[in-house]
């Protein structure tokens, strides 16, 4: 669903806020803890590390825009990216916030396979540290080692599964359950960590962003979050949310009833 909020101009590039001194080794240590990378064949993982380049973004800085030529495959190591699209409605331009991508997720794999322009906008939601894998040398190496195309395809299947689940929830679940399911997935890192018990306590998402991702009004989202806070499961912070009881929140997301799990 398209947001009723007008499109915002990106903030001007700014300082990367402390990521300048993060080593490539530190970035890879985070990415290697991801589920997909953790299970890669040694030959493929070694090649990705060999050709990777660090990329730093300030808050509000674009990684790429819809229609841009493919420039790389990316792994998020620090911070988060917003993935969005725009549409012209009469004389206004509206934005649809699809998701926020955090470590250790990857993006850009669609263009690796089809070579077509970018399908959506990717912008730094916070200061970000990424690893960029240039597409041309990666595609050339994969063509010379075709057995490794299958692990790359798993990136697509993971995204497709997640997209179908999100589409189903958007279609059939009531608003409170949609909010809880999204919060649980974000707290669990969208199940991208190899260590399945790894979770986030603080979510770098505002109430406005959450509402836009779920196609809900700001008022409805705030009311649901207030109920979750009263239940003692989360704490509302400025520009972010803190999960206090993930177990209870997960149980309520399955039943769809906040009061029954209090």
Averaged pLDDT, 95-123: 92
Q: What are phi and psi of 130, to 5 degrees?
A: -125, 165
260 and 234 share one domain: yes
| Angle made by CA atoms 206, 209, 214, in degrees to the nearest 5 | 125
CATH number of the domain where residue 26 is located: 2.60.120.10
Per the rule left: phi > 0, alpha: psi between -120 and 50, beta: everything else, 134 is: beta
**Domain assignment of residue 4, given as a range:** 1-172
64 and 46 share one domain: yes
219 and 240 share one domain: yes
Rounded Cα gap, residues 262 and 257, in angstroms: 9
Hey, CA dihedral for 159, 188, 205, 75, is it positive or negative? Answer: negative
| 172, 197, 214 - which closes a domain | 172
Per the rule left: phi > 0, alpha: psi between -120 and 50, beta: everything else, 188 is: alpha
Chain centre to alpha carbon of residue 102: 5
| 172, 205, 239 - which closes a domain | 172
pLDDT at 4 over 90: no
- Mean residue pLDDT across the chain: 87
147 and 190 share one domain: no
Averaged pLDDT, 95-117: 92
90 and 151 share one domain: yes
The answer for residues whose C-beta is within 8 angstroms of residue 50's C-beta and 6 or more apart is none
180 and 133 share one domain: no
CATH number of the domain where residue 215 is located: 1.10.10.10
| 141, 172, 203 - which closes a domain | 172
Q: What domain count does the chain have?
A: 2
Comparing 23-32, 88-97, 145-154, 160-169, which segment has the lowest mean pLDDT?
88-97
126 and 230 share one domain: no
165 and 196 share one domain: no
């Amino acid at each position: 669903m398209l947001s009723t909020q007008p499109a915002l101009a990106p903030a001007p590039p700014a300082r990367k806020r402390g990521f300048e001194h993060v080593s490539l080794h530190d970035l890879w240590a985070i990415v290697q803890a991801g589920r997909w990378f953790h299970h890669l064949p040694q030959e493929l993982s070694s090649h990705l590390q060999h050709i990777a380049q660090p990329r730093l973004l300030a808050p509000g800085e674009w990684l790429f825009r819809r229609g841009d030529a493919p420039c790389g495959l990316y792994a998020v190591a620090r911070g988060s990216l917003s993935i969005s699209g725009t549409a012209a409605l009469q004389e206004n331009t509206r934005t649809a916030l699809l998701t926020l991508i955090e470590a250790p997720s990857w993006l850009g794999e669609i263009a690796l396979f089809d070579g077509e322009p970018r399908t959506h906008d990717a912008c730094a939601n916070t200061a970000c540290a990424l690893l960029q894998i240039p597409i041309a040398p990666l595609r050339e190496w994969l063509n010379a080692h075709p057995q490794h195309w299958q692990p790359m395809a798993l990136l697509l299947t993971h995204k497709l599964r997640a997209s179908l689940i999100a589409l189903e929830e958007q279609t059939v679940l009531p608003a409170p359950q949609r909010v809880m399911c999204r919060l649980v997935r974000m707290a669990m890192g969208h199940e991208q960590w190899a260590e399945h018990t790894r979770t986030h306590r603080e979510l770098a998402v505002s109430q406005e962003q959450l509402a836009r991702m779920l196609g809900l009004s700001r008022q409805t989202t705030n009311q649901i979050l207030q109920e979750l806070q009263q239940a003692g499961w989360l704490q509302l912070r400025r520009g972010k949310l803190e999960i206090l009881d993930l177990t209870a929140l997960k149980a309520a997301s399955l039943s769809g009833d906040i009061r029954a799990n209090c």
